[in-house]
Amino acid sequence: MKDVKTLEGGPAVAADDAEVIARVRAGDAHAYAELVRAYTGIALRAAAAIGAGADAEDVVQSAFFKAYRALGRFREGAPFRPWLLRIVVNETRNTVRSTVRLRSAAGREAALTEAEPLIPESADPAVAVVEDERRAQLLTALDGLSTEHRLVVTYRYLLDMDEAETAQALGWPRGTVKSRLNRALKKLGRLLPPPEASEGGEGG
């Protein structure tokens, strides 16, 4: 069945965005709510990761509104998620610029921890503590990157988008995504402490 499946008590999962978009274009304004339910979670994480902070919900609301108005220009057959997230990126940048507020690593962490956990709940608690420390270190290290490098790492890894989606979301050629990601990861490697340092420096 090609449709949008809504999980009980959870977000909707878009099985065929193109079909829903076709319904919206045909005049079924209510169908757009299915896309909103499907992508609100990742849109909020993206806005928070880029620096929207407490304004993340407003940014996402505005992005969905602008996406709705721009659906007439949406290229048929193109993936909706990266197109939407590109609008989220622009809205976040405008918001941060207009309020002259710097990004907050703590705000990003609060939003990103709502994504799928990096380790299973059944794991050893000691392992969980180490993983949490590494996550905090990563988010802090991201602040040491340029805007472009932070964006490409956020989309490619923290939001789990593939290379093509990342390129479309950021409006960059795939070659640019590859080169900037490579440079960003090298710099992150220099900014992050070695794993043993977060485990109490037991090595000798």
Residue 11 has pLDDT above 70, yes or no: no
Residue 193: predicted pLDDT: 75
The larger pLDDT score, comparing residue 62 to residue 16, is at 62
Overall average pLDDT of the 15-34 stretch: 89
Residue 42: predicted pLDDT: 93
Domain ranges of the chain: 1-101, 116-204
Mean pLDDT is lowest, of 26-40, 112-126, 176-190, for: 112-126
- 102-138: pLDDT as tens digits: 444 555 555 555 544 444 444 455 555 556 677 677 7
Question: By C-alpha distance, which of 95, 84, 45 is closest to 168?
Answer: 84
Strand partners, 12: 6
The larger pLDDT score, comparing residue 138 to residue 149, is at 149
Per the prediction, the chain carries an average pLDDT of 77
Question: What span, in angstroms and rounded, lies between the C-alpha atoms of 33 and 49?
Answer: 24
Per CATH, the architecture of 1-101 is what? Orthogonal Bundle (1.10)
Per CATH, the architecture of 116-204 is what? Orthogonal Bundle (1.10)
pLDDT band at 81 (very low <50, low <70, confident <90, very high): very high
Residue 118: predicted pLDDT: 44
